[in-house]
Amino acid sequence: MTVNIGFIGLGIMGKPMALNLIKGGYPLWVYGRRVESMAPLRAAGARACASPEEVARAAEITFIMVSDTQDVEQVILGPKGVLSGAKPGTIVVDMSTISPVATRSLATRLMESGIEMLDAPVSGGESGAVDGLLSLMVGGKSEIFDRVKPLFERMGKKIVHMGANGAGQAAKACNQIAASLTIEGVAEAFTFARRSGVDPGRVREALMGGFANSRILELHGQRMLDHDFRPGFKVRLHQKDLRIVMETAHQMGIALPGSALVAQHLNALIGSGEGELDSSALVNAIERLNEGR
């Protein structure tokens, strides 16, 4: 059965994800704040819309992939937003990385109008989005998850239903905690190697054969060695994600000292004008802390 799909947010992640849905044979209605962002989707057969409202009016399932909590709230609740166009019985799937608390509030607001919601943040970066190999962490009702899963399978390889609304965002926060601390650890290890007169490239090679091995050591470690910080996942977005982590931890009354430290180093990179670099540029912050030593 043909399902009409909407996709809002056509940036570095959203565009390839939407293209993979088109490749799956799904009719697609799209909206991006920048008109030019819709051009590749139109060329692939999607119908460009003038607002999120117009997308939601045409779609049975509407995906959202934008930057931050406020952006999702604006797309759903703002003037000419999704809520204005979506019909009862339709589904909204937010694949952005935003606050779990805000997600639960949005799900409640949509349910009051008879609209279901899933939160399905992703991990895997631009390459995972292009290749359809993302990891998806999904929150919401199990029966709604089952309905949308065939679409998720066009975008990702690892798809896990985490629990109720907000559980997907909580899982993504866990991912960002683990990833950021590992990037920080690799950056510190390489800085220690250099200050010890040891080739960090050889250190990486040795570590990849033991318990310290990870995809971050493999990929981000090579970027640090090459000083190639072309963005896969930008510093400013990683900073945003850890802000969400720390704000949520504050609301819960829990201590995350390692995450707080990495958040400060990301803040320093933003302050140095490096917000558009890949988050592996954390090594720059660590190196600067040790200048003159």
Q: Which of 98, 57, 58 is nearest to 74 (CA)?
A: 98
- CA separation for the pair 36, 46 (Å, rounded): 14
Q: What's CA 217's distance to the chain center, in Å?
A: 20
Q: Which of 144, 26, 161 is nearest to 89 (CA)?
A: 144
**If DSSP states are collapsed to H, E and C, what string results for 232-271?**
CCEHHHHHHHHHHHHHHHHHHCCCCHHHHHHHHHHHHHHH
Residue pair 29/59 in contact (Cβ under 8 Å)? The answer is yes
Please return the burial class of 154, using the count of CB atoms within 10 Å of its CB with bins 0-12, 13-18 and 19+.
middle
Residue pair 136/160 in contact (Cβ under 8 Å)? The answer is yes
Is 87 assigned a catalytic role? no
The CA-CA-CA angle for residues 159, 275, 251, to 5°, reads 60
Residues in the chain: 293
CA dihedral 13, 17, 22, 23 (to 10 degrees): 110
Over the Cα atoms of the chain, what is R_g?
Answer: 20
**Which of 87, 141, 157, 172 does the annotation list as catalytic?**
172
CB atoms under 10 Å from CB of 88, counted, come to: 8
Q: Which residues are catalytic?
A: 172
